[in-house]
A and B are shown apart, each in its own frame.
Chain A
Amino acid sequence: MALQLTEKDSQMLQGKFGEAPRLAMSIIVRMAEVLEVDELMDITHAHIDGCGLMSDASLDFAETMARLGGKVAVPTTLNMIPLDLQNWQKQGVPDSFAQRALRIEKAYIDMGCIPTWTCAPYQVIPTPHFGQQIAWGESNAIVYANSVLGARTNRYADFFDLCAAITARVPKYGYHLKENRKGQVLFRLVGIPDGMFSDNSFFAALGHLIGRIAQDRIPVIEGFKGEITSDQHKAFGAAAASAGAVGLYHIVGITPEASTLEEAFQGAQPEEMIEIGPDELLEAYNELSMIKDTGIQIGAIVLGCPHFSFAEFQQLTQLIEESQGRLSEGVRFIVATNQITYGLLERSNLLQPLVTFGVEIVLDTCVFHSPILAAKGKVVMTNSGKCAYYAPGELKTGVVFGTMEECVLSAVRGTLQRKEKTWPRF
């Protein structure tokens, strides 16, 4: 059946609501036709990822929409921008680069977006509710919204996000519909020692492994005991959405659409069943490091991919205090977060020990999008599966994956430190 538009959709397409809604609707209609979708549907929240990449494409699209009078029609949060809006001069970002980033900022602010500038919006401002229809960009935010909040979004692309925000309409397909949210591949955790669950890097390794196998299918994970924190979901989902195209996962007994195995699969049978034991996890864990030699010189520690939460800063501060050390000369220790979390840090007792140690807190952006870490040819160490996945290509660096504790110890010594039996804890 051909695409059926409502009267309002058609009027928008004809330009009766202005040029920006016309352009946005024409892009949405093209996408609906490509996807062979019959109708459009409403969304009531958007998260824009299209503001993140420094490129002519990002700037031209945003400024075109703003110039045409584009205004978002639903509450719309913003992902990171290629600039630390507060500290870019101190960071040595070239003025020409900054000016272009500031134009991206202006365009999205002028269109009425909320200046959150974060890839982890779900940890800092009121989140969409269960079942809410939304249009989100940013792969890690998408998978979190779908899986942990139970809100409904497809894996929306940069620029589609703004079209959806302006029109409040999306093609009715994919994860917006309950029947497309049932699990497809069952991953059964077998014989994994309890201790592993206490370390967030375990979740990143598991996400990396499951993302690689599941690709664009919906994984269901069975065998978790106890609670999973927001930061652990974040680490898992970000890694799964980098190694694969995972936009939704279910964890039996934990995520909201999976109180039982049967509910996770909506009564259907899994297409495939895969057992994951300690050996498979250890392999995935090791795979995240492109460099394995203990003792190698570390150029930078990069944390906060996705953006660090307040709870992660608490953990980091404690590890720094326990190390009783200072940052080794020649090593940079960069933690990316957002203004909201930073505001909380300023009102806490955490900021001073971090600064004294030598931590550089980067706001609104990250090392992938803003030129603040010239580390080409050096070694970057991270506790993030997503960062470990993308750093070799985007930063042209070697990458080492480890626990947050190992990152701190390596920062103090200046060389890669592994903790005996930190992982796995048999």
Chain B
Amino acid sequence: MAKVLKGKPIIPGEAKGQAVVSRQPISFWGGVDPTTGEIIDQRHDCSGRNIAGKVFVFPTGKGSSTGSAVLMESIHNGSAPAAIVNFKIDPILALGAIVAEEIYKKTVPIVIVSKDDLESIQDGDLLTIDREGNILIG
């Protein structure tokens, strides 16, 4: 049966895609290739996977200030995730999404959910996100 998670849309938008789920924080710089969408951090639990067009579900960001630039460049290149779901706001990624909207008139929705809700999303789940931050699973 389909399940709906109620999230907070810090960058509102609609998206649909398969979940790529990580249990670890990530630095987008050093972690994601903005040309391809591949996870390049070899220490990360999603190393080698591709997040372009997927809903990337992970706890929060870490590491480099340049994460914002990498996310914005991914948006520009069309290799960004369809949406990002975290349980804690990463101001670095939020800023990248906001500036992309200003400069390129397109962005990536970011939704914040509770830790329990985040952990209830399974890798490969089909997620549909609306502007109010509701996440439909299945």
Contacts and interface: CB of A to CB of B under 8 A. Distances in A.
Interface of B: 10-11, 25, 27, 29-31, 34, 40-43, 60-70, 72-73, 76-77, 88-96, 98-100, 102-104
A216 interface: yes
Nearest to B93: A157
A202 to B, nearest CB: 21
10 contacts: A34-B91, A52-B66, A52-B69, A55-B34, A55-B72, A55-B73, A137-B65, A158-B67, A368-B30, A394-B40
A242 interface: yes
Interface residues of A, number: 45
- Top 3 A-B residue pairs of the complex, sorted by shortest distance between their CB atoms: A157-B68, A393-B40, A245-B62
A35 B91 contact: yes
A68 to B, nearest CB: 11
A368 B27 CA distance: 15
A368 B102 CA distance: 28
Nearest to B75: A57
Contacts of A392: 41-43
Given A216-B62, A245-B60, A154 B91 contact: yes
Nearest to B88: A216
A23 B76 contact: no
A313 interface: no
A317 to B, nearest CB: 30
B91 A56 contact: no
Interface stretch (A25-33, A144-152, A220-228): A25-33
A6 interface: no
Contacts of B69: 50, 52-53, 55, 57-58, 158-159
A389 B96 contact: no
Nearest to B59: A215
Contacts of B98: 27, 30-31, 34
A137 B67 CA distance: 11
A245 B61 contact: yes
B25 A245 contact: yes
Contacts of A60: 76, 103-104
Contacts of B64: 139, 242
Contacts of A245: 25, 60-63, 90
Nearest to B64: A139
Contact of A242 (B11, B63, B92, B100): B63
